[in-house]
Amino acid sequence: MKNQMLRFFAFLLFATSTYAQEAIFRSQNLISPEIEGDAVTFRFFAPQAQQVEITGDFLPSIKVESSMGTVDAPGKVLLTKDEKGVWEFRADKLAPELYSYSFLVDGLPAIDPNNPFLIRDVASVTNIFIVGGAQADLYKVQQVPHGTVAKRWYPSVGLGMERRLTVYTPPGYENSTQAYPVLYLLHGAGGDEEAWITLGRTAQIMDNLIAQGKSKPMIVVMPNGNVIQDAAPGEGSRGFYKPQFMIPQTMDGTYEANFNEIIDFVEANYRVNKEKSQRAIAGLSMGGFHTLHISRFYPNTFDYVGLFSAAIMPREDATGRVYKDIDATLQQQRDNGYQLYWIAIGKTDFLYDANQEFIKKLDTVEMPYTYVETEGGHIWRNWRIYLSQFVPQLF
């Protein structure tokens, strides 16, 4: 009996080892993506699959209908299968950029098992890669001094919970006695305090801009704009659950009305210059909506305001006191004075028309602004560029 048990365990060990070696040989030994200059080759081992496609933002976008109207979405193309069951696609002449992608195997989404580098955008997980050069070099970790990224919890009396935020402090902060300026950087719908630091490459952009002398050293605070969450999914008290695109109360004025608690926490726990001239606020999409209303609700708080593809749209739940007397508070913000009111939007962004209407309002109240119009739509590629253009103008 003892010998039989030993033979069984020996067989089990052999079978497990053989299966693991086979898995390594058949899939993990592939190189994907293989980057050669501006050409990238993708590979996926699936000998039984009838069809494998790849979708990603390196492909020409397509128009799709959504709850937000017509929006840009990544295109997709077929891979070609070889005699060993390896599917392959080569993309040529890709511009320098950080790209995301995933596979569709017989219609089912799949990540690249040969690429361990992933990002989460709302509930979608995709692989990423960088084609270097030009703007994309800002997204890489370069041999320059590096800042520190911390995840902090702050008390919110107004929201009745401890809440999490991400804080970037510049190189040398720990050994300095300097009081630093602060940029409050807000995410879009479906995002959280993880979004800007992961999808936006904020730490890499800041490190590189500071090293190049294009940005002053500053603290960047990235809060969670979803007032019913204490932290990102999987990082807070609710544990693991599927993230949602629109969460209740995200744009009803509650976040804006309690934003001063974040400022108070930062100014009590970090060496910051508390002057209005040393505070900036910016955000993308929903975060642009928040930025617009926070900056006018606290009209003598920020000298620099950035609206990146701002979600300027009427909402049925926007009934809070924050949204009262918009024209009058904009005029007060104008009269108090500021250094920069910066608006950026892509030509094919589904929020383009709404931003044009807001610009007309600013013209009506004679409120100075800088307007930047780019190619592309409502995408992280634009928002990373906007951040790298906005930051050098601060302080």
Cα distances (angstroms) measured from residue 272 to each of 208, 221, 266, 269, 395: 21, 12, 8, 9, 13
Q: What is the largest CA-CA distance in the chain?
A: 92
Q: Alpha carbon of 46 to those of 20, 31, 127: distances in Å?
A: 16, 15, 18
Confidence (pLDDT) at 101: 97
- The answer to whether position 16 is within a domain reads no
Q: Are residues 214 and 321 in the same domain?
A: yes
Q: Give the end of a domain, one of 132, 152, 175.
A: 132
What's the mean pLDDT in 150-161? Answer: 96
List the beta bridge partners of residue 194.
none
Look up the CATH number of the domain holding residue 297: 3.40.50.1820
Same domain, 215 and 78: no
Strand partners, 86: 45
Statement to judge: residues 182 and 124 lie in one domain: no
- pLDDT tens column, 253-279: 899 999 999 999 999 999 999 999 999
Q: Is residue 19 part of a domain?
A: no
Question: What pLDDT score does 19 carry?
Answer: 40
282, 152: one domain = yes
Taking each continuous run of H as one helix and of E as one strand, the counts in the chain are: 9, 20
CA atoms of 281 and 327, how far apart (whole Å) = 20
Q: Regarding predicted confidence, which is higher, 196 or 248?
A: 196
Please answer whether residues 160 and 227 qualify as being in contact, where contact means their C-beta atoms are separated by less than 8 angstroms. no
Q: Give the domain-ending residue among 132, 150, 171.
A: 132
Cα separation, 197 vs 185, in Å, equals 10
3-class SS at 132? coil
Number of domains in the chain: 2
Confidence category of residue 65, pLDDT binned at 50, 70, 90: low
Residue at a domain's end among 93, 113, 132? 132
Q: Are residues 103 and 171 in the same domain?
A: no
Q: What one-character-per-residue DSSP string does 21-72 give?
A: HHHIIIIITS--SEEETTEEEEEEE-TT-S-EEEEETTSPPEEEEETTEEEE
Q: How far apart are CA 304 and CA 387, in angstroms?
A: 13
Long-range contacts of 81-85 (CB under 8 A, 24+ apart): 81/49, 81/52, 84/47, 85/26, 85/45, 85/46, 85/47, 85/48
Q: Examine the domain organization and report whether 368 and 246 are in the same domain.
A: yes
* Selection from 342, 338, 231 nearest residue 283 by Cα: 342
Question: Does residue 147 share a domain with residue 126?
Answer: no
- Is residue 250 in a domain? yes
For residue 4, is it within any domain?
A: no
Q: Is 2 contained in some domain? A: no
- Distance from C-alpha of 341 to C-alpha of 63, rounded to nearest angstrom: 31
Cβ–Cβ < 8 Å for 105, 49 = yes
Q: Binning pLDDT at 50, 70 and 90, where does residue 8 land?
A: very low
* Percent of the chain scoring above 70 in pLDDT: 89
Task: Map tokens 């005029």 to a residue.
Answer: 331
Task: Evaluate whether residue 69 is within a structural domain.
Answer: yes
Residue 58: phi, psi to the nearest 5?
A: -85, -10
Residue 248 CA to residue 250 CA, distance in Å, equals: 6
Q: d(Cα 34, Cα 40) in Å, to the nearest integer?
A: 5
Q: Are 178 and 80 part of one and the same domain?
A: no
Q: Which two tokens stand for residue 124?
A: 């979608």
Print the domain residue range for 200.
142-393
* pLDDT class of 241 with cuts at 50, 70, 90: confident
**What is the Rg, in whole angstroms, of the alpha carbon atoms belonging to the chain?**
24
Q: What is the pLDDT of residues 315-344, one digit of tens each?
A: 666 667 888 889 999 999 999 999 999 999
Confidence band of 22 (pLDDT split at 50, 70, 90): very low
The more confidently predicted of residues 18 and 347 is 347
Cα–Cα distance between 101 and 110 in angstroms, integer?
A: 10
The answer to whether residues 123 and 148 belong to one domain is: no
Together in a domain, 34 and 182: no
CA distance 381 to 139: 11
pLDDT category, 247, cuts 50, 70, 90? confident
> Tell me, what's the pLDDT at 69?
59
* Closest C-alpha to 371, from 278, 304, 306: 306
69 phi and psi, to 5 degrees?
A: 105, -155
Indicate which CATH number applies to the domain containing 73: 2.60.40.10
Distance CA 112, CA 73 (A): 20
Closest CA to 133 of 31, 38, 66, 210: 38
Is residue 7 in a domain? no
Average pLDDT score over residue span 55-60 = 93
**Same domain, yes or no: 110 and 45:** yes
Q: Is residue 156 part of a domain?
A: yes
Closest CA to 94 of 138, 62, 57: 57
Q: Are 57 and 142 in contact (CB under 8 A)?
A: no
Are 212 and 127 within one domain? no
